[in-house]
Chain A
């Protein structure tokens, strides 16, 4: 019997939502780690029962939790994220130089092949990896050694490495994104990196088309077409067809091109989802209407998806890690809001239902498709 498991990180704990393949009736488990901020929960593609969760508070710091039974039980694993070597400095908000300092783990990206291998994106921006199931973490320091590191500066949420995208077949190729430095790619297993921001234009920085400094919010890829990347930038929805070497805008007829998440349908590489948000100063949907926008043609032409979503008096936000898709035959789409709702669409976005409506503010949503 096929089914789905939705992994939800919130400001006050983690929740695991499960359903069969119909995605009509849901069981809710949680809160796990109640009272802690759960920035991300992710499952291993190689072993769906292996889950990892990033648990933190400003009071007591960072923990990583691991489950080997699909989220029924959890055990804390390693949490020492010590940067490699001399950290140097990056820019603070006011432009002064400050040393790198660990704050929290934003994103966990389990390897496509090995459940014991996980990449972690942290604040202040760095990329770490475990090869022993989370017991120990080592920095992949080539990223921070990129010569532009001293120019990186935090976005409103901090200087965070929030996006990690793995090439489906080439283990040496990774894409990452940092707010507010931009997107980077490695082709040699994270030893060296190149900034891949050509074509981005950001009015909020002194040189709008600088090599780095762009506030990239999220990158998504379909595994059947790994050279095509979709990006939700601070403003602008962008696309690259050459693995990030060049980007062009595909915002088209969106009501606003500000937003956080971007996702690609599991079976249709040209079907893309974004959630337009009014602006960087108004972090809620335009006109109080919560609308997912879908393009069936890889961008530029977008249609609003509204059935089942609130179309008046809605002023929630959808954060960058809070949208995901399943890979059932009729591909589903999911997202969570800062108002504590998690919505599911079992029909590619045509209709939506809230799975839960009163969770703490949602930070992240991941979906596992279970066979």
Chain B
């Protein structure tokens, strides 16, 4: 089970409170790409809000953090940290600090 923390606007869109818990097949190989696939499958309204719905490219003002590291620039199929895969640490999807 992967724990995902969404920013406020996306929690509101998806009508969720707190963390999202995702069960993913082949969890030992889970990557940003497979997590987002699962997230968007459960909450179709989030398609296009985190990554481009056609190209899959991360939106410029969205960042991915976990275990005090910035995963935003890793290739999307990079395996996630083992603490995230074990459910010990959440994967943070963050709206970049910019503007007002």
The chain A residues found within 8 Å of chain B, CB to CB, are 35-36, 57-63, 76, 79-80, 82
Contact = CB atoms under 8 A, between A and B. Distances in A.
Contacts, number: 41
16 contacts: A35-B9, A58-B98, A58-B99, A59-B9, A59-B61, A59-B62, A59-B95, A59-B96, A59-B98, A60-B59, A60-B62, A63-B45, A76-B45, A79-B47, A79-B48, A82-B54
Contacts of B62: 59-60
A63 B10 CA distance: 12
A61 B49 contact: yes
B13 A61 contact: no
B4 interface: no
B53 interface: yes
Given A76-B45, A79-B48, A63 B13 contact: yes
B48 A61 contact: yes
Nearest to B95: A59
Given A35-B8, A61-B49, A76-B45, 5 more contacts: A58-B60, A59-B98, A63-B49, A76-B13, A79-B47
B59 A59 contact: yes
Nearest to A76: B45
Closest 4 CB pairs of A and B: A60-B49, A59-B61, A59-B95, A76-B45
Contacts of A61: 48-49, 59
B54 A60 contact: no
B46 to A, nearest CB: 9
A76 B95 CA distance: 20
Contacts of A76: 13, 45
Given A80-B48, A80-B53, A60 B9 contact: yes
Contacts of B13: 60, 63, 76
Interface of B: 7-10, 13, 45, 47-50, 53-54, 59-62, 95-96, 98-99
B50 A60 contact: yes
A62, A79, A82, most chain B CB atoms within 10 A: A79
A122 B59 CA distance: 19
A203 to B, nearest CB: 33
A82 B52 CA distance: 11
B59 to A, nearest CB: 6
A80 B45 CA distance: 11
Contact of B48 (A35, A58, A62): A62
Contacts of A60: 7, 9-10, 13, 49-50, 59, 61-62, 95
Nearest to A60: B49
Nearest to A77: B45
A82 B48 CA distance: 12
Most buried by A among B49, B53, B60, B95: B49
Nearest to B51: A61
B9 A57 contact: yes
B54 A58 contact: no
A62 B13 CA distance: 12
Interface centre among B7, B13, B99 (most CB of A within 10 A): B13
A79 B46 CA distance: 11
A58 B61 contact: yes
Contacts of A59: 7, 9, 59, 61-62, 95-96, 98
A157 B53 CA distance: 25
Nearest to A57: B9
A58 B96 CA distance: 10
Contacts of A82: 54
A311 to B, nearest CB: 30
